[in-house]
Structure formats: structure tokens, C-alpha cells
Amino acid sequence: MALTATLSLSALPAAADSILFVGNSFTYGEPAGGSPSIQNYNANSVTDLNGLGIGGVPALFKAFTEQAGLNYTVSLETAPGQGLDYHYTNKLALLDKPWDHVVLQSYSTLDASNPGNPAKLIQYAGLFANLLTAQNPNVDINLTATWSRADLTYRTQSPWLGKPIDAMQADVQQGYEQAKASNASINRVLEVGGAWNDAIQSGLADADPYDGVSTGLNLWAPDNYHASVFGYYLEALVVFGNVTGVDPLSLGANERVARDYGFTAEQTLALQRVAHGRVSVPEPSSLLLMGTALAGLGWVRRRRGAAAARA
């Protein structure tokens, strides 16, 4: 009887990890109605806490976890053009729960009324961290540092107008790093914008969508503000790799989301390779070294066992 009960328990599926995404259109996949749309992708696979039926980057993350054999329940709470201050002030009833993982993304310029100033991000990231850890002391809190906007670099008056394309991302990244440093409960900054820079610098992606010369994938949407399907795919890969600890390259050239959007195998692998560079996973050489060390340890133990048997 006890053996039967034990076997029954071992046959039960592992409990799902819960993950919450909080953000704006850089998370939910603006522009709506784009061709093709990220916002509406596989929305029934995730829970939109606002009831708007959005899939977005959270649905891409869900698809990746399924392909990796992982069990995650994915929820999102998003609002267009808002920072973390809006969600904390207006949506706490939806968010104040014991989540296992949380991904927080704020306004693209750090502060809509004071571009480049991280003070509001630091304040509300800290408030969220305190709120979330009160519900679950072991919650894994992630901050998403987003990309340089081409419109603010090449056309529109901003602190980054006329600067290199990676300048805005560097400032945004620094702001998120300061927010992380201000609260020990925040685990990591997801370097999504950094991955965009890597794609541009490697020649995979175009640096200037305004110059009329296409030199690679366009990571921006036609408004040169939001992301294209390639940009959102790269964002989802970086989130997936860091939250789960699974190398994005393990998804492979036939990955389902990329196939749904008509990416070539070369494009899919190239984007996964860029994401790999911004994910904290062991390098293949490290894995080989670890395997060699474990094999050596096993050999030593076997030798010791044989010697003890002879004695």
C-alpha cells in the first residue's frame, strides 16, 4: 500500500512555476495590428490580468518553455505608455500575490517627463521588490533594460539625438543597474537592449532604419520606436534564457515561434546566438570541463572502492 502511494506521488507532474510580466508596449508587442502581430500571438496560452487577451512577449516565453519541457504558468499586466509607477499605483490588487518569478519593465526613456533620469525607476522597482518579497521571500525579480529608440537617436529631440545608436541603451542599462543595486531583493537586469546592440554590431541587424540602406534585420517596427517581430523575438529569448537558465541556442533552428513567423533557419539561429551572449548559462567549454571533472571524480572513487575491496 505504501509502495503504491509512493509510486502514485512520483507519477504526479512537477508543480508549475508562476511568472508575472509587468510592462508596457515593449512587453505586450505594439504596434497592434502590425503585420505580423506579436501582441496577439497565442494569447490563450497566458493569462492577461487586465482581460484584454494579449499574448505578446509573455506568450513567446511560454512557447519557449513548452519546447524546453518546462512547466510555467504565465501571467501579464501591461498598459501602453506607462512606467512601473503606474502599475504600482493602479494595479496592486492584481499584482500583490506570491509569484515565483517576476519580470518588470518600465518606460522606454526611464521617465517620460524627464528622459534619462532613473530616479522614478529606482523608487518603484524598490517598492515592487518589497511588495513581492513580502508575499514570497524567494521570488526571482528581474528588470528588463530595453533598447535604443531609433526615432530618438536620428529624428526626434531627445538627450540622445545625434549620438551613436548604442548611447540610449547604455543610459537605460545604467538606470536599471542602479535600480537593482538599490534593493538586494532584485536578482538581475535582463540586457535586452544590450542584445540589440550586439546584433547591430555583429552586422546581423541594421543600425539606421532611416538611411534607406538595409544592412540586416530591422529590429524596429515601422515607427522606429517599438520592436519588429525580430526585435520582440530577441527580447523573449533573453528573458527565457535568464529566467529559466536554459541556453536559447538549445531551442534550435526549427523553433516553433520563429517558424510561425516565417524566419529562416539562419535568422533563427543568429538571433538565438545573440541572446546566448546576454544569458548567464555555462559555456560549452565549461560544460565539457565540468563533465571531464565529474568523470575523473568517478574514476577516482572506483579506484578507491577497488582498493578497499582488495584490502
- Tens-digit pLDDT string for the chain (311 aa): 544 444 444 455 578 999 999 999 999 998 766 667 899 999 999 999 999 999 999 999 999 999 999 999 999 999 999 999 999 999 999 999 999 999 999 999 999 999 999 999 999 999 999 999 999 999 999 999 999 999 999 999 999 999 999 999 999 999 999 999 999 999 999 999 999 999 999 999 999 999 999 899 999 999 999 999 999 999 999 999 999 999 999 999 999 999 999 999 999 999 999 999 999 865 554 444 444 444 443 443 444 444 444 43
Hey, what's the cell of 250?
Answer: 538549445
**Cα distance between residue 212 and residue 34, in whole Å:** 21
Q: Which pairs from 255-264 meet CB under 8 Å and 24+ separation?
A: 255/64, 255/67, 256/63, 256/67, 257/41, 257/60, 257/63, 257/64, 257/233, 258/233, 260/41, 261/36, 261/229, 261/233, 263/230, 263/233
**pLDDT, position 242:** 98
Beta bridge partners of 205: 217
Rg, the chain, Cα only: 22
**pLDDT, position 31:** 72
CB 3 within 8 A of CB 22: no
Q: Which helix (H) or strand (E) holds 271?
A: helix 265-276
Neighbours of 1 (CB within 10 A): 5
Fill in the DSSP letter of residue 15. P
Q: Which pTM was predicted?
A: 0.87
pLDDT 10s digits, 254-289: 999 999 999 999 999 999 999 999 998 655 544 444
The residue among 71, 74, 90, 73 whose CA lies nearest residue 28 is: 74
**pLDDT, position 67:** 98
**pLDDT, position 36:** 73
**pLDDT, position 34:** 64
Question: Three-class SS of residue 76?
Answer: strand
The residue among 162, 155, 170 whose CA lies nearest residue 116 is: 170
**Cα distance between residue 205 and residue 212, in whole Å:** 14
**pLDDT, position 13:** 59
Neighbours of 11 (CB within 10 A): 7
